[in-house]
């Protein structure tokens, strides 16, 4: 899979920049084999396309409260993009129709990476943080999109977490 496949989605739907997609790919490629990545906010599939393109062995859970096509994004919208990239069908993707703030991974699974890009209001972002930090492996990677909008809500929560990367609207912390 060449980068142009996942760039194709950000070029037309613009939820993430090329650099942001590349950063997702970089962190996915650094994982040990058979990693688990959680994407909060399916949107238009920019993040999922990058994650699934990064390597053949990881499992992606993509969580969205909206199932049917919607201008702000949905599971169906994500699926359309993944089809354009030739990334589906695959048993590596689990689309979860649920609120990201209270959905839990199956028992015995913890995430290597959680990419937070669902509801951007303060109560929701704080709830995502509270729900997902305990579901990360020790040393796991917590990535936020739209940090300029949401980061101010979280400064108290992330103050003890090392910031390990940044790219445009993404901030990445080690948990
Ligand atoms: C900015 S878009 C995500 C963009 C996506 N990461 C991409 O790269 O295309 C935000 C998505 O979050 C979803 N969403 C909003 N509130 C949510 C919630 N409470 N739980 C889960 N998903 C939610 C919206 O339906 C929308 O699809």
143: CATH: 3.40.50.150
Ligand 1: which atom is nearest the Cα of residue 13? 9
Report the pocket of ligand 1 as residue ranges, CB < 6 Å.
15-16, 41-47, 63-66, 72-74, 99-101, 117-119, 124
Please tell me the total count of domains within the chain: 1
Ligand 1 centroid from CA 29, angstroms:
24
Ligand 1: which atom is nearest the Cα of residue 48? 8
User: Would you state the pLDDT for residue 38?
Assistant: 99
Please tell me the residue having the least CA distance from ligand 1 atom 11: 41
pLDDT at 1 > cutoff 60: no
pTM of this prediction?
A: 0.97
More confident residue, 14 or 65: 65
Ligand 1 centroid from CA 1, angstroms:
25
User: Would you state the pLDDT for residue 2?
Assistant: 58
pLDDT at 173 > cutoff 60: yes
43, 60, 120, best to mutate for ligand 1 pocket (most atoms within 8 Å of CB): 43
The model's pLDDT over 19-40, given as tens digits with 9 standing for 90+, comes to 999 999 999 999 999 999 999 9
Burial 78-109 (b: 16+ CB within 10 A, else e): bbebbeebebbeeebbebbeebbbebebeeee
Q: How confident is the model at residue 8 (pLDDT cuts 50, 70, 90)?
A: confident
Ligand 1 centroid from CA 65, angstroms:
7
**3-state secondary structure string, 8-45?**
HHHHHHCCCCHHHHHHHHHHHHCCCCCCEEEEECCCCC
What average pLDDT does the segment 11-16 reach?
A: 84
What average pLDDT does the segment 131-140 reach?
A: 98
What average pLDDT does the segment 95-117 reach?
A: 98
Q: How confident is the model at residue 86 (pLDDT cuts 50, 70, 90)?
A: very high
- Owning domain of residue 30: 3-174
């Amino acid at each position: 899979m060449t980068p142009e496949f996942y760039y194709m989605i950000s070029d037309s739907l613009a939820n993430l920049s090329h650099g942001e997609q590349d950063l997702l790919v970089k962190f996915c490629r650094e994982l040990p084999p058979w990693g688990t990545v959680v994407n909060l906010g399916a949107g238009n599939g920019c993040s999922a396309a990058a994650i699934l393109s990064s390597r053949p062995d990881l499992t992606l859970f993509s969580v969205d409260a909206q199932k049917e096509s919607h201008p702000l994004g949905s599971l169906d919208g994500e699926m359309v993009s993944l089809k354009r990239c030739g990334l589906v069908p695959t048993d590596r993707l689990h689309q979860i129709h649920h609120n990201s703030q209270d959905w839990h991974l199956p028992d015995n699974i913890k995430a290597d990476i959680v990419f937070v890009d669902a509801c951007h209001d303060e109560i929701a972002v704080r709830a995502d943080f509270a729900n997902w930090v305990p579901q990360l492996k020790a040393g796991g990677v917590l990535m936020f999109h739209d940090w300029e909008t949401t980061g101010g809500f979280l400064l108290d929560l992330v103050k003890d977490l090392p910031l390990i990367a940044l790219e445009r609207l993404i901030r990445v912390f080690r948990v």
